[in-house]
Chain A
Amino acid sequence: MKAGMPKKNQPPAWRLFNPPVLLQLMWPRLREHRWRFIMVLALVPFSALAATAVPYLTKVAVDDYIIPAMQAGSLAAYREPLYWLVALASGVVLAGYLVEALYVLLLQKSGQNLIADMREMVYQRSLRLPRSYFDTHPIGTILTRVTSDIEALGESLATNVLALVVDLIKAMAFLAMMFYLNWHLTLVLLAAFPVLVLLLRFFQSRVRLSFFRARQALSEATGFLQECLSGMKTVQLFAAEEQAVARFREKNRQFLHAQNSSNLYDALLYSLVEGVTTLALALVLWYAAGELLAGVLTLGVLVAFMEYIQRLFVPLRELSQQMAVIQRALAALDHINQLCTVSLDPAEERPEDDPHSQATEHAQAPWEFRELVFENVRFRYSPEGPLILKGISFAVKKGQSLAIVGPTGSGKSTILRLLTRAYGGYEGSIRINGRELDCLKATELAGIISMVHQGVFLFSGSVGFNISMGREAVGPEEVRQAAGYVHAQQFIGQLEEGYDTPVNQGGANLSAGQSQLLSFARAVAARTELIVLDEATSSVDSLTENLIQQAVEKLYQDKTVLAIAHRLSTIRNADLILVMAGGEIVERGNHNELMALGGAYEALVGELEAAARDGGDGGDDGGDDGGR
């Protein structure tokens, strides 16, 4: 199974600087925070100054007061200046603490705001992605972009990158002060630096690679686990549990090996930095001894050096940890950037979404639906895929009703997906009032078409909200009228809080029929002319069934309706019925004409009548699929 698997073991290069779509999208928000960033930049040197000052003041205390007093054997002359110096040093420590707290706070505030902005921006874009994106990417993956990827980015920006920058600035300040105090000794210390740089360089690429490999091994193991769990039914039906576990173990073992090598580098790097620090200390001490005795160097300078050495080296110990976090953040950045690079659904595009776009949103005058025409429409989902629609032509005029019937896979749902612009790229022509569908914006379309979706989808909100969907044109009065129109007001009235009753977990507290009625009310609330009805296949109790049939009849009278029909009544009463099979329209006409034909339509009606006699019995085979 390893054969032919492309080994992608090179970490993504600095894509951060390559296609910065994300940066372009975030630029306006970054600009808003620029004063805070400038403040932070201004405060960091003060923090570095405070950190540098304390060892220096210690040096002054030792050389100017303590040693002379010790030699004099009396404190008297030095007591007061020593007190002042200690007071000053205490003040510097306190100021250093406050400055550090302040810049961290400022940066975090900006950082967290930017992270939230980025999250919202990514979410907004994600809602406008082409439908095919949702079909090819699991929701879990898109969710990761909006949640943990952005969190990883925020965490790393807020702590690690900042810590690295601040440590670097402080290191410069320390080195400058050390040069000022004693440049020979500093040069001796710097002799340790090439060793350190070589070590870091040696490790950097290896650590990065091993972290990368470990992450890859983990994602492979997780991917396999996900497959195993989704396919658990198949695994169990083939009694292949042991084999699945054995494979998972194999993938985990690869992760374990990758981790062990990254652990080794991590431990070595940590220990080497610690060892080099101690070596530097010994080296400085040995060299200082000569200068100390020759009077070139004072004890105070040595004390200060000891302190500076600690402060210089300690941050390096955590470097490998920080590299791991930063690497994770870079990967996250890469993911988010990729999501931002996906072009939006053309129907959903707004000028502000695309930084390069020249388009402007011109307000559309409200328009009246007159007719919908499909003309020799051919469609395939992917360029190499099979032809799903093989030349579909029909027309619906204002006030007419059209029912499309046919077995699963005959292409009737695809017609709907094209009409609602879930998919584009069809051949032939689909026109509304003579305008090609491809050129219409989703907002224009929503002005004339309302859709009753097959899978009734209720949001966690109130019953009223699930009818209005927050649309401006749909106020409480419209909600009530819509509910009345589809005979939903009766059951809503019986709910404890009426229209304000919360809908739980996608409608768990409502019956299937009630949910369907709500979805009808939702569609009629906006009073658009064309209603697209994708009938649900799940059966409902006979009372609600009756209400739904009445609602459909009313719609047939009052509106233009295009229905993917499963109900006998919906089919029978339509002005025009299209019978589809294999991506083609095989029969067309009204009920009586088609019955007279004695073909596929008649057989279908026979099947439906047989099912209707059985009256909602027979459960639902689909229930089994939950376990897969």
Chain B
Amino acid sequence: MNKAAFVISLILRHLGSYSAGVAAMALTLWMSLAIPRYLQEAIDILRDDPDPAGGAFLSRIGWILFFAVAIILTRTASRLLFFVPGRKVEFQLKNDLLKHLSTLQREYFLANPTGAIISRINNDINGIRMMMGFGLMGLFSSLGTLSLAPFYMYEISPRLTLYVALPIMTAFVVLQLAVRRLRDEQMVQMKGMQDLSDFTVESYNGVDVIRSFRALEWAQERFSRFSHGVRDSSIRMATMRAFFMPILVHIANGLKVALVLVGGMMVINGELTMGGFMAYALYLSMLVPPLMGMTFVMFVVQRGMTALNSLETVFNTTPGLPPADAAAEGELGETLTRGLSVDGLDYAYPDAQETPVLRGVGLSIAPGETVGLFGTIGSGKTTLVNLINGYLRAPEGAVRLDGVDISRLSLATLRRHVVTVTQEPFLFSDTVRENIAFSMGGSLPGKAGENPEPVEKAASAAALEPDLKRFPLGLDTLVGEKGITLSGGQKQRIALARALLRPCSLLILDDVLSAVDQETERQLIGEIYSFRMARSTLIVSHRISALERADRIIVLEGGRVIAQGSHAELIRQEGPYRQAWIFQGERDDSGLNAARNGSGTPGESP
């Protein structure tokens, strides 16, 4: 993506608006620059024909009044015609960027923290918007005034214009030099601010350590050092601004004083009329804003170009996925006939190749079967799940759906078949309904309200009904930041409802009921078994109560499958499953926890 070509393509996309904007701008400039000339003529007519009600004089006044009104319209139009495309560009770029980001994978989000991406989207796109709106307008308006005004001034008096040109140009050059130094200083200040932010984040992350070791003084001193650096840089910038920024305005004032001398002499000699003198003074005033504007335009364009660079790197990042194999996609039907098979699966994370997480894992899940996956923390459960659902890339041929290697499938196809509910449920700050309906991928906002039945069914299957009754607006209650705070268990059940709503071939529940109390867990497990029997389910947990009803339980330990069988079989053999069953079962039976008394685990044991 060539930057200049990109900017031109943006301009071309909104060519109509920009052209109309340029036309309105030209009209505005022509009228506003004509006003001093009409003023000049009016004054000079009075000298020759001293009649305040004379037709010639009044017609000039009339024209100025007309211009005043017309300018209101053309100026408004020109500003809008430039600003609106700028905003549209911003709108488009933001959408495109998120669309692109949504194709990027785990590696990108590991390397780029959310905060950095957001600041990029907001700051960079803002910079481009400024360039495409304010920048272009300022450019045309400043260039227009700066080329037209001297022309009119030259018409009034060539000699005066030559006298004026030199100081103004000098001031402009001095200002540019100052602006460049200001920009350098601004980089220093931004760097200082960045360091300060980094330190602040570090100290907030370690605030417990800072407090328990009473290192507050140290943190404050460090912070003050950064803060003073930023302050000193700001003061240096302020000093430069204080001396350089008023230069243009005061040069214009100085030139008006010079006009009194030089122009005055010319009036005395009859080379200049009093009307010309006054018109000239007006033109001098009109020169200051575009000169200031040019400085600003250059700043905006530079910022916009930097922003384009930074955006370019994001758009050029690709997910790095191999292209999907159309033949393989074709082989896979709407529903699975043979189910999932994992065979000889070895896996190590790319950044820790020497420590394999999974070693020769093999398992299969037939359609309609419910399989439990048991393992302690660090046994590799979640890694296995992430390899099946494509969040991590499985080695070729190791994971197959109906015999089709998933590494040949597009992620979209894979995830049409495999739905995962992750350990930490993620909810949007939206209504409960939208959070559940969210899984019906591709449906547009508002659609959920039109056919409420499936959502309600899923919610009741996820045992949400008692909670919804207590929520102020039921399914339409807002959750998260702006709404009510949910308990961990409530969040997990909403995430579960979301998954139950979405038809799929394989439903993976990765430790999703950890924050749900045992009673509800039992009820939910029952619902999961009965809700849609046709599909396969993989329930991952370290809790025996979540697994005991599975058709088959696979025990994972140290990245290997060490046992398989039904609950009844597994509790009879020595191993982590039996140990966990005793530990968790005994706890239930201890009688210390009245709430959990009567729960069936020990009763079912042989």
Contacts and interface: CB of A to CB of B under 8 A. Distances in A.
Contacts of B206: 457, 459
Given A128-B216, A243-B438, A65 B264 contact: yes
B420 interface: yes
Contacts of A361: none
Nearest to A6: B482
B426 interface: yes
A54 B256 contact: yes
A101 interface: yes
Contacts of A618: 357, 378-380, 557-559
B573 interface: no
Contacts of A522: 213
Interface stretch (B81-89, B174-182, B524-532): B81-89
A124 interface: yes
B416 A229 contact: no
A194 interface: no
B404 to A, nearest CB: 17
Nearest to B514: A409
A386 B490 CA distance: 13
Contacts of A614: 557-558
Interface of B is mostly: helix
Interface string B100-115: 0111011001100011
13 contacts: A4-B477, A100-B250, A234-B426, A235-B102, A248-B95, A249-B95, A253-B91, A270-B76, A282-B64, A286-B52, A506-B202, A604-B583, A621-B378
B38 to A, nearest CB: 9
B505 interface: no
Interface of A is mostly: helix
A93 B224 contact: no
Given A120-B223, A619-B355, A603 B415 contact: no
Contacts of A235: 102
B377 interface: yes
B75 A225 contact: no
A476 interface: no
Interface string A436-454: 0000001100100111010
Contact of B214 (A89, A255, A471, A611): A471
Contact of A242 (B52, B207, B441, B583): B441
Interface residues of A, number: 169
Interface string A61-76: 1100111011000010
A124 B220 contact: yes
B438 A240 contact: yes
Contacts of A244: 98, 102
A1 B42 CA distance: 63
A160 to B, nearest CB: 14
Contacts of B274: 62, 67, 299
Interface residues of B, number: 175
B257 A90 contact: yes
B231 A252 contact: no
A222 B117 CA distance: 11
Interface stretch (B234-242, B322-330, B331-339): B234-242
Nearest to B102: A241
A246 interface: yes
A278 B431 contact: no
A94 B197 CA distance: 42
A128 B220 CA distance: 11
Contact of B445 (A104, A250, A282, A385): A250
Contact of A237 (B51, B72, B202, B420): B420
A187 interface: no
Contacts of A276: 68
Given A5-B482, A310-B282, A611-B376, 19 more contacts: A62-B260, A65-B264, A70-B268, A93-B253, A105-B243, A127-B219, A146-B196, A151-B193, A224-B428, A234-B422, A236-B411, A242-B441, A253-B91, A278-B68, A453-B209, A469-B210, A506-B202, A600-B586, A620-B378
3 smallest beta-carbon distances between A and B, as pairs: A603-B583, A108-B238, A619-B357
B380 A231 contact: no
B381 interface: yes
A279 interface: yes
A239 B441 CA distance: 6
Nearest to A470: B218
Given A293-B46, A600-B586, A143 B204 contact: yes
A581 interface: yes
Contacts of B285: 307, 310
B396 interface: no
A307 B593 contact: no
B47 to A, nearest CB: 9
Contact of A147 (B43, B197, B392): B197
Contacts of A264: 76, 80
